Amino acid sequence: MKNEQGAPIMAGPGKIFLVDDLESSRMFHRVVCNRLFPDAEIFEARNGVEALKIINEAGPLSAKDVLVTDCRMPRIDGATDGLTLISNIKSMKLPILVAMLSGSQDSLGKAEELGAGLCMLKDGDFHSFWEIVAQWILFRQSV
């Protein structure tokens, strides 16, 4: 199945929570998500504090939902205090993907230890990034 632009439409998330302090990054993610997953509900937050509020207000979560968080943000982020975000959200059974523009393997490893299901570096190729996310979600649903 393809969208109006001819890009493949993938079975994907129900709700996508994009957490990044950079508006441009959230915008690029949103554009790609809308193309790949036109039926997904997309929520945005600038930091972990906003993310927790939005997730709590979004209604029931399912195995098809996913949180994508940057690692370096103000307030609660995805790497330092954000490990708090990950542990809080882990209790909600929401799949967590930590995406970093830059960072050490230690930061990625720490996020995985705390419950992030997938940790990866963002390289600017948002389409490939979301194809990987879609495959990860499909895998999670089959397990």
Outline where DSSP puts E strands in 30-74.
41-45, 66-70
**Rounded average pLDDT per 10-residue block, the chain, 143 residues:** 52 80 87 84 89 87 80 58 59 65 64 69 69 74 66
DSSP state of 46: S
In the prediction, which pLDDT does 97 show? 67
In the prediction, which pLDDT does 129 show? 76
DSSP state of 76: S
Domain ranges of the chain: 15-142
Q: What's 15-142's CATH class?
A: alpha beta
In the prediction, which pLDDT does 139 show? 73
Question: Residues 54-62: contacts with CB within 8 Å, 24+ apart?
Answer: 54/17, 55/17, 55/89, 55/92, 55/94, 58/15, 58/17, 61/15, 61/92, 61/93, 61/94, 62/14, 62/15
Q: What is the pTM of this model?
A: 0.72
Amino acid residing at 55: I
